[in-house]
């Protein structure tokens, strides 16, 4: 997706660049691309309008799309994502970019001291987060592969996964099947091209209709739309029939949180960093940031914390009340965009606040 420059209200005179933190093989405009492979019909289920994002037009409905629903489709998606293809997903020039070197940073079994600020580093401390956060792979409708980050959350069906809406479908895309990403494949605990807990194709997915309300906007130029940048997925079970939540465990999910200043931990699989930092990020290992939350340019729709993650970290969880000993917390937002400040100031990774709209998506997903 093209990276526009945005100057938030009240920040005149300071150049800031907001962009989606998605990992992609090329820059695409999702409003005009055509789907490469056939897809099932989408449907919408009406709901009461949300109080979140008053600037977005139209009613707030749950817009859904079918993924790999048959055994044959699941096998095809699983075969598509070879270790080599996973490593290259998100490379800007896949034809000439070599497979990135594996990140062999050693694990550290000691728990990270609580409330330790971290602008970005490989997560080496294990715990549940190492199992239920992973890399989400997909193919854009123009045929190029990309990746985001996603998380298994506690749910009634034990199969619900949360990410960013723009990892599923471009903002402002027409309301038809030709704009959804396909070949969706979630690898929890992804590490150096391996699948420690297996890979999971996606059976169905959902975003808010307000995410696609206006084809003339982008999420970075209309931040009210960015307040709807949440996507929910229902994963197919493992080969033996076990739901993904039984394989990986899950993180709690919370709505209308966090409070300003609350200490938050963020995880993702970036392919790039900000302000010259994170140059070694190649998507092979999970990266961690931590710090107090602060309002974003469209508070309370967006909020963030200091973090140097960029492309590929989209959809990653922002966890409040995170226990560094167990690796568990409460997902209170997912990464939607980053902000690179001029003059060497600390970069910010912003999350979409999980409000009423996200709650409806979650209720829909966990009932599947």
Which pLDDT belongs to residue 102?
64
Task: Find, among 12, 289, 68, 38, the residue nearest to 184 by Cα.
Answer: 68
Q: What is the mean pLDDT of the chain?
A: 79
Res 173 pLDDT > 80: no
Which range has highest mean pLDDT (14-23, 33-42, 51-60)? Answer: 51-60
DSSP strand pairing (160-163 vs 145-152): antiparallel
Long-range Cβ pairs for the range 37-41 (8 Å, 24+): 37/182, 37/183, 39/65, 39/66, 39/177, 39/180, 39/182, 40/65, 40/66, 40/69, 40/177, 41/66, 41/177
- Residue 296: the pLDDT is 82
- Judged against a pLDDT cut of 60, whether residue 13 lies above it is answered with no
Whether pLDDT at 260 is above 60:
yes
What pLDDT was estimated at residue 259? 82
Q: Are 244 and 318 in contact (CB under 8 A)?
A: no
Question: What pLDDT is recorded for position 242?
Answer: 98
Beta carbons within 8 Å of 198's beta carbon, 6+ residues apart = 187, 188, 238, 239, 247
3-state secondary structure of 330: strand
pLDDT for 357 beyond 70 = yes
> Is the model's pLDDT at 31 over the cut of 50?
no
Whether residue 41 is predicted with pLDDT greater than 60 in this model: the reply is no
Cα–Cα dist 94/86, whole Å: 11
Omega of the bond prior to 191 within 30 degrees of 0, cis? no
The answer on pLDDT for 345 being more than 90 is: no
Q: How confident is the model at residue 212 (pLDDT cuts 50, 70, 90)?
A: confident
Answer whether residue 21 shows pLDDT above 80: no
Mean pLDDT computed over 272-301? 81
pLDDT at 12: 26
Is the pLDDT confidence value at 135 over 70? yes
pLDDT of residue 8 exceeding 90, the answer is: no
Report the pLDDT averaged over residues 41-51.
32
* Weakest mean pLDDT among 190-204, 228-242, 337-351: 337-351
pLDDT (average), residues 267-293: 84
pLDDT at 230 over 80: yes
Alpha helices by DSSP H, listed for 133-239, are 223-226
Helix or strand holding residue 198 (H, E): none
The arithmetic mean of pLDDT across residues 31-44, rounded, is 26
Looking at the chain, the whole-number percentage of residues with pLDDT higher than 90 is 55
Asked if the model's pLDDT at residue 45 lies above 50, the reply is no
- pLDDT per position as a tens digit, 102-132: 666 777 777 777 788 888 999 999 999 999 9
Per-state percent for the chain, helix, strand, coil, to nearest 5:
15, 30, 55
Task: Say which DSSP state 56 is in.
Answer: S
Statement: residue 88 has pLDDT above 60:
yes
- The CATH T-level fold of domain 16-93+109-366 is Thrombin, subunit H (2.40.10)
CA distance 235 to 257: 26
Lowest mean pLDDT among 24-28, 168-172, 242-246, 331-335: 24-28
Return the H-helix or E-strand segment holding 248.
helix 244-248
293-337, pLDDT tens digit by residue?
Answer: 998 876 778 899 999 998 899 999 999 999 999 999 999 999 998
Per-residue pLDDT tens for 56-81?
Answer: 557 899 999 999 999 999 999 999 99
- pLDDT for 42 beyond 70: no
- Burial (CB < 10 A; 0-12, 13-18, 19+), residue 157, is middle
pLDDT class for 275, splitting at 50, 70, 90?
low
Cβ contact 243:237 at 8 Å = yes
Q: Determine which helix (DSSP H) or strand (DSSP E) holds 304, and give its type and residue range.
A: strand 302-306
């Amino acid at each position: 997706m093209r990276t526009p420059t945005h100057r938030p209200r009240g920040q005149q005179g300071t150049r800031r660049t907001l962009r989606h933190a998605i990992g992609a093989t090329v820059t695409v405009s999702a409003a005009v691309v055509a789907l490469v492979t056939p897809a099932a019909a989408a449907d919408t289920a009406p709901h009461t309008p949300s109080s979140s994002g008053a600037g977005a037009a139209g009613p707030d409905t749950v817009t859904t799309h079918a993924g790999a629903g048959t055994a044959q489709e699941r096998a095809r998606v699983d075969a598509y994502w070879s270790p080599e293809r996973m490593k290259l997903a998100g490379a800007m020039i896949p034809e000439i970019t070599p497979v990135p070197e594996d990140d062999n940073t050693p694990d550290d079994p000691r728990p990270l001291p609580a409330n330790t600020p971290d602008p970005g580093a490989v997560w080496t401390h294990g715990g549940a987060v190492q199992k239920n956060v992973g890399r989400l792979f997909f193919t854009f409708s123009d045929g190029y592969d990309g990746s985001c980050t996603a998380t298994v959350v506690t749910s009634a069906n034990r199969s619900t996964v949360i990410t960013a809406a723009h990892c599923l479908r471009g903002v402002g895309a027409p309301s038809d099947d030709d704009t959804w990403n396909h070949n969706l494949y979630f690898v929890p605990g992804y590490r150096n091209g391996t699948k420690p807990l297996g890979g999971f194709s996606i059976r169905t997915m959902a975003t808010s209709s307000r995410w696609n309300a206006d084809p003339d906007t982008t999420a970075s130029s209309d931040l009210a739309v960015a307040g709807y940048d949440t996507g929910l997925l229902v994963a197919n079970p493992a080969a033996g029939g076990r739901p993904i939540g039984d394989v990986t465990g899950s993180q709690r999910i919370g709505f209308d949180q966090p409070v300003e200043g609350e200490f938050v931990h963020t995880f993702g699989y970036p392919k790039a960093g900000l302000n010259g930092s994170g140059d070694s990020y190649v998507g092979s290992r999970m990266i961690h940031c931590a710090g107090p939350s602060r309002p974003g340019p469209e508070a309370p729709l967006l909020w963030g914390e200091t973090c140097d993650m960029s492309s590929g970290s989209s959809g990653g969880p922002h966890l409040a009340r995170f226990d560094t000993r167990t690796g568990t917390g409460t997902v209170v937002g997912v990464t939607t965009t980053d902000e690179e400040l001029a003059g060497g100031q600390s970069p910010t990774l912003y999350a979409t606040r999980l409000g009423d709209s996200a709650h409806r998506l979650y209720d829909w997903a966990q009932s599947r």
